[in-house]
Amino acid sequence: MTAEQVDAIVVGARCAGSAAAIALARAGRRVIAVDSARFPSDTVSTHLLWPAGVAELRPLGAAALVERLGAPHLTRARAGGSGFCVTSPFSPVEGIDYALCVRRPGLDDALVRAARAAGAEIRERAKVTEIVRDSGRVAGVRYTDRSGATVELRAPLVIGADGRRSTVARLVGADRPYLSTPSGRDCYFAYWRDANPAERHVAAQWRAGADLGTAFPCDDGLLLSLVQPPAESAEPGPGRAEARYLAAIERLPALADRLAGCTRVGRVRAATGIVSYFRRSAGPGWALPGDSGHFKDPVTAQGIRDALRYGRLLGAAVAPVLDDPVALDRALLDWERRRAAECLDMYQWTNRLARAEPMRPLEIELYRAAQHQPALALAATEIFSRTTTPKQLLTPARVTALTARALLRGAPATVLVNLGQELRDAAAEWLQARAAAQAIPPSPAPAPAPRPSAQAYGPLSRS
């Protein structure tokens, strides 16, 4: 077998893979991305992009392609729970003040076309089966093409952007996470022909008891409606997804009202047994952007934004140093540490919302206050666009004020139990952050430049 030599190989050409390939190709590197799918291709995924996610499309050259798919600009956010309804506009992120909900066949195809336009080569229907190693480093892959032939590619870097069940993560021994949190929720979603044109600009979420549901208008006149009831331990049998989906909608009256008059299109899709995690995502000659290295429960809709952003940042970081293994390893570790540091707060916030608990007293007080305070409602929405962190929203002063108000409304025992839970959560998250910081080794320091000898300057002159 004759190996084909390139600068970088990307396994998986969807969000993270296309983003990395675009950055590498624009830097003048020869990059080949392989994917087992043929695009356009669907995948089980919810697909809301908050303004920060929409903004990530621009540097990739994919914004115009995605806009042409016709998804409406979602200019308002709505959150309802415990009798309160909070609405807010979106703060602009790099000039983008709207969300988009674009179905994955069109979104991923737009990204693949942007990657090809940037100069990357995309090989479809190509299934990676082996990792090639050389002197302790990952040095390439072998894949089976559409004819059944085996092809070997060699490169200084293999990027595994192949999802939660990543073949690359398994083959490099990185599939066991160093942080993981099982979700308390299952996820069921379906598309509806939207009969409410007046609501086509609103991204809405409602909670009732332990249930959560959403309504996100998307392309082709459709509406994506997702429900996340408490997780079941047993594997769903035939028809179970449909039954659980419809039952959850009945328990969410505001969602049922939103869907009134709408007609469902297609089957109910399910994601169960959800686990959020961080995996080691860089090593000698390999990296794992996207869900292959880090995944969060869909309750906060962060996955596509992070895949685009950290795929792009990975490609930009490694492009100048692919020919220097020491500098490449340093760049990979720096990238991995950056992603972990920037994503940990949202990981922990997501895990809180994924516990499938009824709203706690302090959370109810936050909704109550935000209903009448536009600045507070805007700050809460900004968490999802990553322009405000959960800690910036829930400062000690704000938590104290919310606690005092909850106590004045009665049920002090319940409020104090909630406060104790918040303190325990904060302590657990601090320990988790410490463990995460220790899981990734520091980047190797650059080797000192050799000290020149006198001979390097030629014969010494005499004064």
- Strand-pairing partners, residue 74, are 99
Mean pLDDT of 53-65: 98
**Among the listed residues 76, 362, 81, 84, the one whose alpha carbon sits nearest the alpha carbon of residue 206:** 81
Report the mean per-residue pLDDT for the chain.
Answer: 93
pLDDT of 462 over the 60 cut: no
**273-287 per-residue burial string, b: 16 or more CB within 10 A, e: under 16:** ebebbbbbbbbbbbb
Average pLDDT estimate for 398-419: 89
pTM score of the predicted model: 0.93
pLDDT in tens, 266-299: 999 999 999 999 999 999 999 999 999 999 999 9
User: Is residue 451 predicted with pLDDT exceeding 90?
Assistant: no
Give me the sign of the Cα torsion angle 19, 334, 174, 156: positive
Q: What is the CATH number of domain 4-69+104-181+275-350?
A: 3.50.50.60
**Residue 185 pLDDT level (bands cut at 50, 70, 90):** very high
At residue 446 the predicted structure's pLDDT band, cuts being 50, 70 and 90, is low
Q: Please give the pLDDT value at position 449.
A: 52
Higher pLDDT, 376 or 235: 376
Is residue 91 predicted with pLDDT exceeding 70? yes
Dihedral angle computed from the Cα positions of residues 74, 76, 80 and 85, in that order, rounded to the nearest 10 degrees: -160
- Segments of 161-201 assigned E as strands: 179-182, 187-193
Give mean pLDDT, residues 185-200: 97
Using 50, 70 and 90 to split pLDDT, how confident is the model at 447? Answer: low
Sheet holding 158-160, edge to edge: 121-123, 31-34, 8-11, 158-160, 286-287, 282-283
**Section 317-325 average pLDDT:** 98
Residue 452 in this model has a pLDDT that exceeds 80: no
pLDDT of amino acid 411: 81
The per-residue pLDDT for range 15-44, each reduced to its tens digit, is 999 999 999 999 999 999 999 999 999 998
Asked whether the predicted pLDDT for residue 450 surpasses 80, the reply is no
Residue whose C-alpha is closest to residue 432's, from 350, 335, 332: 350
Give Cα 452 distance to the centre of its chain.
48
- Residue range 203-211: mean pLDDT, rounded: 97
How does DSSP assign 63-123, residue by residue? Answer: HHHHHTT-PPPB-EEEEEETTEEEEEE---BTTB--BEE--HHHHHHHHHHHHHHHT-EEE
Closest CA to 104 of 219, 194, 221: 219
pLDDT at 376: 96
- Averaged over 348-377, what is the pLDDT? 95
The CATH code belonging to domain 185-271 is 3.30.9.100
pLDDT in tens, 167-183: 999 999 999 999 999 99
Q: Tell me, what's the pLDDT at 239?
A: 87
Confidence of residue 57 (pLDDT cuts 50, 70, 90): very high
pLDDT at 200 > cutoff 80: yes
For residue 350, give the amino acid letter: T
Report whether 219 contacts 103 (CB < 8 A).
yes
Check pLDDT > 70 for residue 448: no
Q: Give 57's contacts (C-beta < 8 A, 6+ positions apart).
A: 49, 63, 66, 308
The CB-side HSE value for 241 (13 A sphere, CA atoms) comes to 15
- pLDDT value for 238: 75
- Least Cα distance to 366 among 394, 347, 388 occurs for 394
Domain boundaries of the chain, sorted by first residue:
4-69+104-181+275-350, 185-271, 358-439
What pLDDT does residue 463 have?
27
User: Please, are residues 259 and 278 in contact by the beta-carbon 8 Å criterion?
Assistant: no
